[in-house]
Structures are given as C-alpha cells and as structure tokens.
C-alpha cells in the first residue's frame, strides 16, 4: 500500500487539508459529511471523522466489531437495539461500542462532530432486519476514492 500523504492508505493526514465529503445518502438522513482517515486492510479496521448537523441521523446498523468514538462537538443520541433505553453522549465524550451493538437510531439534535475507529464492518439493516449494506474497510475506501477521485 502506498504511503500517500493525506490519503487513508498513508500514515498521516493533515485533517484540515482534506475536504468533507457527503456520507452515502442511503446510510443516513440529512447532510452528514465525513473524512476517511485510515484503512487497515489486514484487520479490516478503519477510522473516520464525521460532521453531523442538527437534525441528521444514521440509519439502523449493527457494529460487527468493536468501535470507539470521541465526540468532539455537540450531542449524539443512541437509541434502540437490545438496550431500548438509549444513551446520550455530550462532547467531550468517549464511548466504546461493543461488537454486535445494534443502533436503531443515532440522532444529532445539535451540530456535532465525532472521530471514530472501527474494527470490522457496519451492517446496515432495513426494517425487517435484512442487510442493506455491509460497510467495511474496502467499501469505505471505494466510496471515498469514488467521491474524491483518489
């Protein structure tokens, strides 16, 4: 893999030199944008930062491996799945999402931003629990390259 500067396949990214890209519309509601920072193809891990304006949300998904987020701005409401009660993260907040955590709704009621490391894919589901998209390190890299011409 080439050690390209400011590329998710390199070792360092100067984050403010990389533009925000719209996150695929089928996977979220509203204008969520992201920057893909790294892919680790051996382990299937990947790292990104997300910009989530007030009123946006992510579609229903299951974390097929653990993930860790650092909410740097705003509020993130996690609802549903096995734990119905939900939780709210407030910046600055750290959260560990366990392998197989299911998130029926991940909503942002104010402008928010979070950085997240993912091990393995996200399994996006429809209302019947069928897989709509399996989003792992290869898929995010392909989506990123398609959007940025990388």
Give the interface with a copy of itself as residue ranges (CB under 8 A). 10-16, 37-38, 40-44, 47, 49, 64-66, 68, 70, 72, 87, 89-90, 92-100, 115, 117, 119-121, 123, 130-131, 134, 136-138
- Cβ distance to a copy of itself smaller for residue 55 or 87: 87
* Cα–Cα distance measured from residue 11 to residue 9, given in angstroms and rounded to the nearest whole number: 7
Which residue from 73, 110, 144 is spatially nearest to 135, judged by alpha carbons? 144
- Cβ distance to a copy of itself smaller for residue 49 or 52: 49
We find the least distance from the C-beta atom of residue 47 to a copy of itself, in angstroms, to be 6
- Cβ distance to a copy of itself smaller for residue 30 or 40: 40
The β-bridge relationship of strands 105-107 and 87-90 is unpaired
We find the least distance from the C-beta atom of residue 56 to a copy of itself, in angstroms, to be 21
- Cβ distance to a copy of itself smaller for residue 30 or 51: 51
We find the least distance from the C-beta atom of residue 20 to a copy of itself, in angstroms, to be 13
* Cα–Cα distance measured from residue 21 to residue 106, given in angstroms and rounded to the nearest whole number: 19
We find the least distance from the C-beta atom of residue 31 to a copy of itself, in angstroms, to be 21
- Residue 102 — φ and ψ, nearest 5°? -110, 130
Cβ atoms of 26 and 131 closer than 8 Å:
no
For residue 133 the two structure tokens come to 């998209």
- Residue 96 — φ and ψ, nearest 5°? -110, 120
């Amino acid at each position: 893999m080439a050690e390209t500067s400011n590329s998710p396949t390199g070792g360092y990214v100067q984050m403010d030199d990389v533009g925000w890209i719209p996150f695929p519309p089928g996977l979220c509601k509203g204008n969520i944008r992201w920057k893909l920072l790294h892919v680790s193809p051996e382990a299937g891990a990947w790292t990104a930062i997300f910009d989530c304006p007030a009123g946006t949300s992510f579609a229903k998904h299951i974390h097929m491996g653990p993930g860790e987020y650092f909410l740097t701005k705003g509020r993130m409401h996690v609802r549903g799945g096995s734990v119905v009660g939900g939780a709210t993260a407030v910046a600055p907040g750290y959260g560990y999402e366990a392998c197989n955590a299911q998130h029926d709704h991940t909503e942002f009621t104010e402008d928010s931003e979070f950085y997240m490391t993912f091990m393995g894919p996200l399994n996006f589901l429809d209302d019947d629990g069928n897989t709509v998209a399996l989003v792992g390190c290869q898929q995010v890299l392909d989506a990123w390259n398609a959007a940025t011409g990388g």
